[in-house]
């Protein structure tokens, strides 16, 4: 029995990842570790573990969360002790402590020059302080490196505090109440009805979904908004087009695609007509008249538009659900209230912001900032514009939500536009204009289906799924065992698309590459999924070890350098979230998850679970299980659905 288990571990640990080893999937959670059925285990906070160890908690400094974040606890300790050694106040030391780039430089470091001690040589000070610094219960080593002092956390301490914390907090590990009673409105995705859902919308969706999850984890109440492009002259055109070419059946079946087809055809009509027809007969003229009726609130004219909108939203809801995104509200340009827009136009006039130019109303923003140029807020025919609707909408939103922060996730092509919008609101005297944030991102090149050029999100996801499916089919025997291959292929495919998108800084452009993205090797979405499913398999193979056994394991048995690096990485996770909220970069989390999974993979060779004494097996399983939990948390934060088997 033991020998069999041992050889199984050997087999697993020597297994290089091979896509055709995809065998069966279940997205259901392992019952013992299910976030849904886990028996309530009371949370063992980092600080409550200290009491058990009879270690005195360092004085908590402002802005630290030692209960949830062991790195904060260490910051508190280092700040207090370094204050004694250096005479600098702890409050000044705390914010000067930095992360290290690599763990061989310690877990935290302080650049001595940051403390601005007059007339002192930073190198000498670093050497003296390192020499005098008491390691205490918290640190294993303190060393000077040029003008830096490097602090190494004591692994035994991390094992004893962090593992029980992860194993009892589960999906909550990483979360902390950075803010209280604060609301963030996050607007993202915002596609245009009857137009393709292009790469820009996909990026906005992915980044916005992530930011919403992140802010929630850090204590914000988050309102997720989709601001649909559902208003404007093109909806007059679409209605005319639908009279000519629409099909009820096609509309019901696939509203997004059908409306797009109709839109393309009616635009062709306009092209063919040129200016051969008088305004009253031309497609253009008819569309304009139709939209005017919509703006005037003509119920008949609005009826068909509302149907287009409702059916499109139904379809969007479905597609977003595949990405684990659920909106609090599908608003859109059409929802900007008349009152707010009129108020805004009135205020433009009163504040002397606007001027007339050939019947149109303009705001000259160069007075405030040269780069901002001018913007039109009302056309000569009195119809509203994108900008006016955005201004009205922002006013409506503040009334409705009283947000503390409002984030717009919009492509960098609209950098100027967004800056204008924010400036206009500021000039209108809205105090909350300072709480508006534009999170921008670069372009995706070459995102198209293999067949055509026009893209809808659904098509991209379907195509990725099919591609994954093909890879899975390359191993017939394994494939035959898969219960729901389509579902696995879908989830792994979605991870491929999303991770490719979140891997680099937002502002970078990137090229949409099928081969690269769907590969199981290298830093890809499928690799993360594989890493998660493999950790699940470790848990399944040791199902005789209960949660309690893991929790009460003797962590002093964890000694191997690979285990030490892993616990140091696991300890960083709460800080990674806090850092990601500073940069608003998903890449911060993605990079961390790859570091983590690489380290887990190094552990497999040296830290076996099967075939060990029960004590050692329990301690190691606790470590793997914690790593699995952190990976799970990171993946779901990004919007992925981790698979249990593949
Ligand atoms: N409040 C806003 N303007 N949000 C951005 C909307 C994006 C717009 N629908 C587009 O596709 O370009």
Tokens for 623, please give them: 């470590």
Label residue 8 by pLDDT band (50, 70, 90).
Answer: very low
End-to-end CA distance of the chain: 26
Residue 102 and residue 209 in one domain: no
pLDDT higher than threshold 70 for residue 528:
yes
Torsion angles phi and psi, residue 574, rounded to 5? -60, -35
Q: Is residue 536 part of a domain?
A: yes
Residue whose CB lies within 8 A of the most ligand 1 atoms, among 229, 330, 413, 417, for a mutation test: 229
The burial class, CB within 10 Å (0-12 / 13-18 / 19+), for 8 is middle
Residue 258 and residue 406 in one domain: yes
Task: Identify which has the larger pLDDT, 451 or 603.
Answer: 603
Task: Identify which has the larger pLDDT, 472 or 137.
Answer: 137
Look at ligand 1, atom 3, and give the residue with the nearest C-alpha.
390
Closest CA to 176 of 558, 464, 581: 581
**What is the per-residue pLDDT across 86-132, written as a single tens digit (0 to 9) for each?**
999 999 999 999 999 999 999 999 999 999 998 889 999 999 999 99
**What is the per-residue pLDDT across 252-302, written as a single tens digit (0 to 9) for each?**
999 999 999 999 999 999 999 998 999 999 999 999 999 999 989 999 999
Pick from 108, 133, 153: which residue ends a domain? 153
In this structure, the strands spanning 329-332 and 354-357 are unpaired
Q: What is the mean pLDDT of residues 193-198?
A: 88
For residues 330, 331, 335, 341, the Cα torsion angle rounded to the nearest 10 degrees is: 170
Residue whose CB lies within 8 A of the most ligand 1 atoms, among 190, 406, 412, 421, for a mutation test: 190
Residue 232 and residue 144 in one domain: no
Look at ligand 1, atom 11, and give the residue with the nearest C-alpha.
191
Q: Which atom of ligand 1 is nearest to the CA of 195?
A: 11
Q: Is 361 helix (H, G, I), strand (E, B) or coil?
A: strand
Distance 191 CA to ligand 1 centre (A): 7
pTM here is: 0.91
**Structure confidence at residue 456 (pLDDT):** 79
Active-site residue set = 195, 198, 201
Closest CA to 285 of 295, 296, 273: 273
Q: What is the mean pLDDT of residues 555-584?
A: 98
pLDDT higher than threshold 90 for residue 342:
yes
User: Residue 248 maps to which CATH number?
Assistant: 3.40.50.620
Cα 314 from Cα 336, distance rounded (Å) = 21
Q: Is 459 helix (H, G, I), strand (E, B) or coil?
A: helix
Pick from 104, 138, 153: which residue ends a domain? 153
pLDDT higher than threshold 60 for residue 139:
yes
Question: What is the number of other CB atoms lying within 10 angstroms of the CB of residue 42?
Answer: 7
Q: Which atom of ligand 1 is nearest to the CA of 413?
A: 12
Q: Is residue 10 part of a domain?
A: yes
pLDDT higher than threshold 70 for residue 20:
no
Q: Which atom of ligand 1 is nearest to the CA of 417?
A: 3
Q: What is the mean pLDDT of residues 613-621?
A: 97
Residue whose CB lies within 8 A of the most ligand 1 atoms, among 188, 193, 224, 227, for a mutation test: 227
**What is the C-alpha radius of gyration for the chain, rounded to an integer number of angstroms?**
29
Q: Which atom of ligand 1 is nearest to the CA of 228?
A: 9
What percent of the chain has pLDDT above 90?
81
User: How many domains would you assign to the chain?
Assistant: 3
Distance 180 CA to ligand 1 centre (A): 30
Look at ligand 1, atom 10, and give the residue with the nearest C-alpha.
191
**Structure confidence at residue 452 (pLDDT):** 52
Residue 625 and residue 538 in one domain: yes
Look at ligand 1, atom 1, and give the residue with the nearest C-alpha.
390
Look at ligand 1, atom 6, and give the residue with the nearest C-alpha.
190
Cα 580 from Cα 382, distance rounded (Å) = 44
pLDDT higher than threshold 80 for residue 512:
yes
Distance 251 CA to ligand 1 centre (A): 24
User: Residue 31 maps to which CATH number?
Assistant: 1.10.730.10
Residue whose CB lies within 8 A of the most ligand 1 atoms, among 341, 410, 441, for a mutation test: 410
**Structure confidence at residue 535 (pLDDT):** 97
Residue 441 and residue 569 in one domain: no
**Structure confidence at residue 237 (pLDDT):** 95
Q: What is the mean pLDDT of residues 142-159?
A: 98
Cα 454 from Cα 468, distance rounded (Å) = 22
Q: Is residue 351 part of a domain?
A: no
Residue 478 domain boundaries: 2-43+457-505+522-638
Cα 468 from Cα 447, distance rounded (Å) = 17
Cα 349 from Cα 429, distance rounded (Å) = 13
Judge contact between 260 and 246, C-beta under 8 A: no
Residue 535 and residue 439 in one domain: no
Distance 213 CA to ligand 1 centre (A): 21
pLDDT higher than threshold 90 for residue 623:
yes
Ligand 1, pocket residues at CB < 6 Å: 187, 190, 192, 227, 229, 390, 408, 410
User: Residue 90 maps to which CATH number?
Assistant: 3.30.1360.70
Q: Is 238 helix (H, G, I), strand (E, B) or coil?
A: helix
Distance 410 CA to ligand 1 centre (A): 7
**Structure confidence at residue 448 (pLDDT):** 65
**Structure confidence at residue 457 (pLDDT):** 82
DSSP one-letter string for 515-577: HHHT-SSSS-HHHHHHHHHHHHHHHHHTTTS-HHHHHT--GGG---HHHHHHHHHHHHHHHHH
Judge contact between 351 and 427, C-beta under 8 A: yes
Distance 205 CA to ligand 1 centre (A): 12
Q: What is the mean pLDDT of residues 554-562?
A: 97
Residue 10 and residue 80 in one domain: no
Q: Is 439 helix (H, G, I), strand (E, B) or coil?
A: strand
Q: What is the mean pLDDT of residues 592-607?
A: 97
Q: Is residue 532 part of a domain?
A: yes
Look at ligand 1, atom 7, and give the residue with the nearest C-alpha.
190
Judge contact between 127 and 134, C-beta under 8 A: no
Q: Is residue 136 part of a domain?
A: yes
Question: What is the number of other CB atoms lying within 10 angstroms of the CB of residue 66?
Answer: 23
| ipTM higher than threshold 0.95 | yes
Look at ligand 1, atom 9, and give the residue with the nearest C-alpha.
229
Label residue 454 by pLDDT band (50, 70, 90).
Answer: low
pLDDT higher than threshold 90 for residue 515:
no
Q: Is residue 29 part of a domain?
A: yes
Q: Is residue 35 part of a domain?
A: yes
Residue 423 and residue 468 in one domain: no
Residue 433 and residue 497 in one domain: no
Task: Identify which has the larger pLDDT, 528 or 39.
Answer: 528
Residue 425 and residue 566 in one domain: no
Distance 190 CA to ligand 1 centre (A): 6
pLDDT higher than threshold 60 for residue 25:
no
Q: Is residue 496 part of a domain?
A: yes
Residue 73 and residue 206 in one domain: no
Residues 6+ apart with CB under 8 A from 321: none
Distance 282 CA to ligand 1 centre (A): 29
Residue 30 and residue 146 in one domain: no
Pick from 419, 445, 471: which residue ends a domain? 445
């Amino acid at each position: 029995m033991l020998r069999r288990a041992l050889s199984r571990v050997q087999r697993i640990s020597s297994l290089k990842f091979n896509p055709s080893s995809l065998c069966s999937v279940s997205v259901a959670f392992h019952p013992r570790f299910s976030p849904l059925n886990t028996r309530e285990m009371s949370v063992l906070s980092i600080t409550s573990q200290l009491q058990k160890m009879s270690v005195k908690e360092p004085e908590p400094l402002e802005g630290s969360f030692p209960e949830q974040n062991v790195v904060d606890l260490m910051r508190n300790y280092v700040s207090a002790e370094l204050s004694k050694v250096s005479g600098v106040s702890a409050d000044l030391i705390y914010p000067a402590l930095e992360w290290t780039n690599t763990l061989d430089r310690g877990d935290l470091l302080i650049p001595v020059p940051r403390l601005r001690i007059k007339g002192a040589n930073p190198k000498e000070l670093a050497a003296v302080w390192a020499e005098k610094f008491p390691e205490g219960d918290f640190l294993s080593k303190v060393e000077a490196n040029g003008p830096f002092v490097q602090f190494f956390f004591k692994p035994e301490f991390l094992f004893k505090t962090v593992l029980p914390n992860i194993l009892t907090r589960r999906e909550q590990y990483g979360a902390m109440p950075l803010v209280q009673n604060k609301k963030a409105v996050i607007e993202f995705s915002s596609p245009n009805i009857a137009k393709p859902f292009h790469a820009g919308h996909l990026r906005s969706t992915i980044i916005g979904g992530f930011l919403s999850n992140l802010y929630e984890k850090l204590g914000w109440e988050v309102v997720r908004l989709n601001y649909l492009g559902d208003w404007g002259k093109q909806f007059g055109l679409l209605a005319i087009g639908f009279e000519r070419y629409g099909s009820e059946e096609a509309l019901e079946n696939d509203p997004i695609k059908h409306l797009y087809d109709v839109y393309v055809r009616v635009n062709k009509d306009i092209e063919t007509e040129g200016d051969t027809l008088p305004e009253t007969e031309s497609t253009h003229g008819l569309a304009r008249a139709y939209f005017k009726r919509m703006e005037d609130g003509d119920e008949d004219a609005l009826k068909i538009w509302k149907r287009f909108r409702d059916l499109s939203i139904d379809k969007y809801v479905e597609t977003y659900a595949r990405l684990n995104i659920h909106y609090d509200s599908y608003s859109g340009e059409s929802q900007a209230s008349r009152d707010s827009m009129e108020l805004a136009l009135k205020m433009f006039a009163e504040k002397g912001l606007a001027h007339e130019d050939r019947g149109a109303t303009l705001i000259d923003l160069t007075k405030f900032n040269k780069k901002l140029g001018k913007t039109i807020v009302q056309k000569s025919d009195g119809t509203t514009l994108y900008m006016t609707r955005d201004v009205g909408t922002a006013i409506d939103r503040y009334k409705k939500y009283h947000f503390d922060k409002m984030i717009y996730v919009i492509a960098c092509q609209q950098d100027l536009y967004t800056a204008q919008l924010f400036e206009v609101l500021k000039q209108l005297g809205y105090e909350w204009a300072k709480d508006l944030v534009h999170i921008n991102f670069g372009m995706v090149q070459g995102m198209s289906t293999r067949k055509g050029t026009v893209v809808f999100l659904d098509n991209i996801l379907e195509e990725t799924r099919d591609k994954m499916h093909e890879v899975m089919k390359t191993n017939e025997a394994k494939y035959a065992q898969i219960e729901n291959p389509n579902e696995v292929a879908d989830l792994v495919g979605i991870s491929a698309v999303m991770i490719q998108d979140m891997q680099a800084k937002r502002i970078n452009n990137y090229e949409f590459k099928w081969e690269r993205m769907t590969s199981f090797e290298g830093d890809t979405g499928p690799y993360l999924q594989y890493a998660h499913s493999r950790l699940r398999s470790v848990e399944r193979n040791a199902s005789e070890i209960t949660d309690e056994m893991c929790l009460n394991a003797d962590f002093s048995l964890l000694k191997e350098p690979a285990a030490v690096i892993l616990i140091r990485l696991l300890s960083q996770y709460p800080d990674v979230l806090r850092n990601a909220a500073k940069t608003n970069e998903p890449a911060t989390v993605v990079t961390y998850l790859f570091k983590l999974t690489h380290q887990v993979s190094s552990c497999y060779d040296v830290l076996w679970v099967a075939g060990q004494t029960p004590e050692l097996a329990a301690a190691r399983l606790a470590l793997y299980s914690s790593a699995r939990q952190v990976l799970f948390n990171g993946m779901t934060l990004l919007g992925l659905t981790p698979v249990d088997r593949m």
